[in-house]
Structure 1
Amino acid sequence: MAEFMDVHRNMVGITAEGLLAAHNADLAIQGDENVDFKKAWADPVAGLVYCLSEAPSAEAVQRIHVRAGHPADEIHPVPLVV
């Protein structure tokens, strides 16, 4: 499976608890699309959240995020990881 990094904008003020809740919402349904969300990072001041996942496609990642209530603004394939 491919890896993807997605970006969520306009999340100014997100807290650690809010980030964890959003990540857990993804984890609860990720199996429906064969997605594996690995990690999430946030910059509450800039309002940015980043998520790393393994998935069959960017569309599968977006479907999970949409169902969880926080669609991604961008999804980028990550073909090289060290």
Structure 2
Amino acid sequence: MPEFMDVHHNMKGITQEDLLAAHNADLAIQDDEKVDFKSAWADPESGLVYCLSEAPSAEAVQRIHERAGHPADEVHAVPLRV
């Protein structure tokens, strides 16, 4: 299954609890689109949040994030990784 890294901007001040709640909201509905969210990272100072997932498409990742209430600003395929 292809991997994707998505980016959320404008989330300044996000806390560990906020990040966990957003991630759990994705996990609760990810099976609807056959997405598997692996990890999420956040920088409260810059407001950037990154999520790594396996999914059939970037559109599937975006649909889950939109339904969970936090659409991604960017979704990038990750064709190579070590």
Q: Same-fold call, TM > 0.5?
A: yes
* Coarse TM-score class (shorter-chain normalised): over 0.9
The unaligned stretches of length 5 or more in structure 2 are none
- Three-state SS of the structure 2 residue aligned to 1:22 is helix
- Which residue in the other structure is 1:54 paired with? 54
Aligned residues: 82
Q: Which residue of 1 aligns with 2:8?
A: 8
Q: How do 1:1-82 residues align onto structure 2 when only pairs under 5 Å count?
A: 1-82=1-82
| TM-score, normalised with respect to structure 1 | 0.99
List structure 1 segments (4+ residues) > 6 angstroms apart after TM superposition.
none
How far did 1:81 drift?
A: 1.1
* RMSD over aligned Cα atoms: 0.2
TM-score norm. by structure 2 comes to: 0.99
> How far apart are the structure 2 equivalents of 1:59 and 1:26?
14
Q: Note the residue ranges of structure 1 that are not aligned, 5 or more in a row.
A: none
